[in-house]
Amino acid sequence: MASRKTSHSKQDKSDKYSILLPTYNERENLPLIVWLLVKYFGESGYNYEIIVIDDGSPDGTLEVAEQLQKIYGEDKILLRPRAKKLGLGTAYIHGMKHATGNFIIIMDADLSHHPKFIPEFIEKQKEGNYDLVSGTRYKGNGGVYGWDLRRKVISRGANFLTQVLLRPGASDLTGSFRLYKKEVLESLVERCVSKGYVFQMEMIVRARQLNYTVGEVPISFVDRVYGESKLGGNEIVSFVKGLITLFATT
């Protein structure tokens, strides 16, 4: 027993969490999300690094990121910019190439995902040794802020339809606040081809297909503080297309 205990605490110490932050025109939000990450990781004591993947933002996000790197140190903030806007999947691949953590956390840099939930993600992961832990807006104390009735109806309706058709075994499919074991994210990203909302959905559906275990943590989703959040006809059409594709192929 004693030896098992030591190996467990050793495991804790060697665990490192790499946060991937893909950004595009997030000059206002980036310093704030980084500040919050530093605050909550500092308080919880887990080992971490923040990897900023900026896709050539014209608003100077990268310069702000460089300043943050000077403030918080090059071991904590890593910059992996790309020349132009490319897909989310390739951003994860690009970021992961340089990630030194054995766990990867992905989240939006627009403050809709609050870093205060990350310690809960980590505890949840340890609790069941889950391959991935997904934040959920649809369970327990989870919820949203800044959504009107129309948005809520679309979101709940789309979620219900997806649950019926795909039975994915996770309550929030389009959310993008998740913690993955590094090798799990690598194998999933390789397989996923969708874009936008559907990408996150495909990731979790494929995870189920590959028999990865999924844990869930309720989160509050505070819709973009700075900048516009959109849900128009285009998003809905591409969501339906993606859903049909997954329905026929998984």
Partner 1 sequence: MTKLLEWLFGVSLVGSVWALVSFDLLDLSLPQTYKDVAWPMPLYLLVSFGCYSLATVGYRVATFNDCDEAAKELQEQIKEAKEDLKRKGLKM
**Binding footprint of partner 1 on the chain (CB under 8 A):** 27-28, 31-32, 35-36, 64, 67-68, 71, 111, 114, 138, 141-147, 149, 152-153, 155-157, 159-160, 164-167, 220-222, 225, 246-250
Shortest distance, position 90 Cβ to partner 1, whole Å: 26
> Residue 156 CB, nearest distance to partner 1 (Å)?
5
Tokens 């700075």 belong to 226
- Give the shortest CB-161-to-partner 1 separation in angstroms: 8
Closer CB to partner 1, 97 or 226, in the complex:
226
CB-wise, 16 or 114, nearer to partner 1?
A: 114
- Smallest distance from the beta carbon of 250 to partner 1, in angstroms? 6
Beta strands at 132-136 and 103-106: parallel, antiparallel or unpaired: unpaired
Nearer to partner 1, 64 or 122 (CB): 64
19, two tokens:
């946060």
Looking at residue 116, what DSSP letter applies?
A: G
**83 versus 164: smaller Cβ distance to partner 1:** 164
Q: How does strand 220-222 pair with strand 132-136?
A: unpaired
Considering just the CA atoms, what is the radius of gyration of the chain in Å? 18
Phi, psi of 106 (to 5 degrees): -115, 140
Tokens of 104: 């990867």
Tokens of 160: 């219900």
